[in-house]
Structure 1
Amino acid sequence: MVTLELKGLHRVRSKGRVYWYAWRGGPRVLGEPGTPEFVASYNQAIDSVTTPDNSRFRSLVALYKASPDYKKLAHSTRRNWGPWLDRIADHFGELRIAQFDRPERIRPIIRQWRAKYAEKPRTADYGMQVLSRVLSYAVDPLGKIASNPCEGIKQIYNHSDNDRSEIIWTDGDIAHLKKTCSVEIAHAIDLAAHTGLRAGDLLRLSWSHVGEDAIVIPTGKSGRRREAIIPLYQELRDVLARIPKRSPVILTHSKKGPWAPGSLTKAFDTAKEEAWSKGDNLHFHDLRGTAATKFYLAGLTAREIAEIMAWEENTVERIIRRYVGRGAAIKEKIRRLNEVRSRT
């Protein structure tokens, strides 16, 4: 008899004959063992299990993971979304795609899934964001469903409870932290407050990104598809002049090497705790608002600020409202109104 090396084969003898099955309880394998017909029949049985049913939701997740849309996401986003896509596939995988084309019936099921994470509202909303992206992909370009049933389901995290829209670093805050922090942290704070770059982009920022008139760097958040173009105004030139050129990258730690991912913000948090023993509500990310405020008060338009900070133009007004302090915005309106009045 031919030795079989096909995994999981199950042998059954009945009425003097031997029958082979792909696995115990699985489909019967046709042909004589060892023949091409037998191997082909076995492979067909295995494929029926490993290949997703195109009518099931699990196939949508697989298609989205393989899509250009997903691959264009920033690496950090894919790293965070991957586990959520697996959870979504495990929970909804066996439902038929057609069920998601009936919003009034599928929404209660979606809400029940979200309720599993209700103790952490932001986590629940994050999972909904990933699910919604998959369903949007099913609408367009796949055309599998007519509309996204996640639309109309409200977030459960109340952003007003943790609104940071008016939290920015003032010159006094920065001066206070500089009294106790290292010179390397001071350089990072100054550069963030004058460029508006995210921490990840600051770590990548090299001297080669600094041109004659502007800093130009592809942003990590956009998957490096968009560029931040920051004019070299005098204050920014002064910041760069204070930073020693001891590495290809601009920001370095005390041992003169590049910061590892996450190490800069960790060192910053430690420095902040030393400066404010009881803790403070200022985050490194809030330095972006400081930069946006500087640009806004300098008279730049919303579109110009969007180009500098690599924000989408159609959302720049909302982002400006979020990052630019209300007091600064009011002062800018007063300045513009006074300018108009002085011309009349």
Structure 2
Amino acid sequence: MSGVVAVPGTKLRYTYLSKGTYWRFRHKLTGDVPLPHDSALQWSQQQERSTFMERYAELLAIVEARGAKRPPARSSFAWLVQQYRRSPEFSELADATQTDYARTLDLIVQELGEVRYAAATRNILKAVRDDHAATVRKAHKIKQMLSRLYSWADENDLVPAGFNPAKGIKRLKRKGGDKEIVVWSDVEVELFLKGAPAHLVTPVLVALYTGQRREDVVKMTWQQFQGDVIRVRQSKTTALLDIACHTALRRHLDKLPRKGVVICTTADGKAFTPNGLSGAVRRRVEALPDMPNNRSMHGLRYAAGSRMEEAGCTVAEIESVLGHQTFKMVLKYASQRLRAAAAMAKMEAAESA
């Protein structure tokens, strides 16, 4: 029997009695080796005990030395990552963002752990990025996180001022171009909602009329719905927003029975997960014969911004709901649609003149 076994007068880890007579030490770092003691019954001689314990101590030291974690070298990427993860800047990030960053930081330690961060060149960092070029998004996140690490190191006087070899590394381009987030049209929203099960209607309307990410849609509680206002704590930015509740959304929510804590629930009355909600919406989209398949929850967020743009909302008003980066991406689509509509209106006016 392996594990902790009884030897007269003590208990010794990783030992066992073979054939009821011979003591052996077994561990993956040492293998299965005999201990210098012939019989389990002969423990009267002090010298024999001493020899046994000396050999046991040697084997145990191998296990403990190999199993112990050495602290990373002060100059290494492993140390830099460790310090960043202990920093107030990392601690103040939203939980979801910390989890996302942690995956990339672990990858950097795996790839560059013992490399001296102050001596790393752009070519070294670029090679790490290129190792993951098959997944363009992951490769870009590695590049971004390396740049973020160096910026943090600069702020904390851990590298020479302005030293950031990751900063000039270009972003890899996805074959066929960047993945496009398609904005839902009004016709597509109406097509989706017509005949949709109630548990999908609610999250789609919440996303469309609040412009929030799926992670925040699934966490919205009835307590946050205050009639004319929905209060949202964004998981990505941690920003607290008071969003005026659109009349159509307010009427829908007022009709719903308030069961449980969160507003959006599955058909079984359970809270959605972000991936679960995206999957449910995607399956509904794919089941509609007249609906394009590339419509997503994120596309509803863009649709909310596009509607605000078309309604004449100011940049500051739209950014207050969506955030700066999302607004810039929405503006590109919304502006094109407005210009196209204006062009068609002018053409029809000219033809009827």
Q: TM-score range by the shorter chain?
A: 0.7 to 0.9
Deviates further, 297-306 or 209-218:
209-218
- Aligned position for 1:259: 272
- Aligned position for 1:151: 167
What is the correspondence of 1:30-179 to structure 2 with a 5 Å cutoff?
50-100=70-120, 106-146=121-161, 147-158=163-174, 161-164=177-180, 167-179=182-194
- Aligned position for 1:327: 337
Which protein shows a greater Rg?
Answer: 2
- TM-score of the two chains, using structure 2 as the length reference: 0.71
8 Å CA contact 2:318–2:327 kept in 1: the answer is no
What is the correspondence of 1:171-250 to structure 2 with a 5 Å cutoff?
171-222=186-237, 224=238, 226-250=239-263
8 Å CA contact 2:310–2:334 kept in 1: the answer is no
Q: Map Cα deviations across residues 173-222 of structure 1 (whole Å, 9 max, x no partner).
A: 12222335312112221221111111111111112112253211111112
8 Å CA contact 2:132–2:139 kept in 1: the answer is yes
8 Å CA contact 1:288–1:323 kept in 2: the answer is no
Cα distance between partner residues in 2 of 1:316 and 1:206 = 24
**Ranges in structure 2 where 5+ consecutive residues have no aligned partner:** 1-9, 13-28, 30-56, 346-353
> What count of residue pairs does the alignment treat as equivalent?
292
Sequence identity (%): 26
8 Å CA contact 2:211–2:304 kept in 1: the answer is yes
Q: Secondary structure at the match of 2:97?
A: helix
Q: Are residues 164 and 243 of structure 1, via their aligned partners in 2, closer, same or farther at CA, if it must alter by over 3 Å? A: farther
Q: Map Cα deviations across residues 44-70 of structure 1 (whole Å, 9 max, x no partner).
A: x99x97222212222111101111222
1:110 aligned partner, one-letter code: L
Q: Are residues 245 and 329 of structure 1, via their aligned partners in 2, closer, same or farther at CA, if it must alter by over 3 Å? A: farther
- Aligned position for 1:274: 287
Cα distance between partner residues in 2 of 1:72 and 1:329 = 42
Q: Secondary structure at the match of 2:218?
A: helix
8 Å CA contact 1:289–1:324 kept in 2: the answer is no
Instruction: State the superposition RMSD in angstroms.
Output: 3.6
Q: Secondary structure at the match of 2:177?
A: helix
Cα distance between partner residues in 2 of 1:265 and 1:160 = 24
Q: Secondary structure at the match of 2:230?
A: strand
- Aligned position for 1:33: none
1:135 aligned partner, one-letter code: Y
8 Å CA contact 2:310–2:338 kept in 1: the answer is yes
- TM-score of the two chains, using structure 1 as the length reference: 0.73
**Ranges in structure 1 where 5+ consecutive residues have no aligned partner:** 9-21, 27-44, 101-105, 336-344
Task: Tell me the CA shift for residue 331 of structure 1.
Answer: 5.5
2:167 aligned partner, one-letter code: E
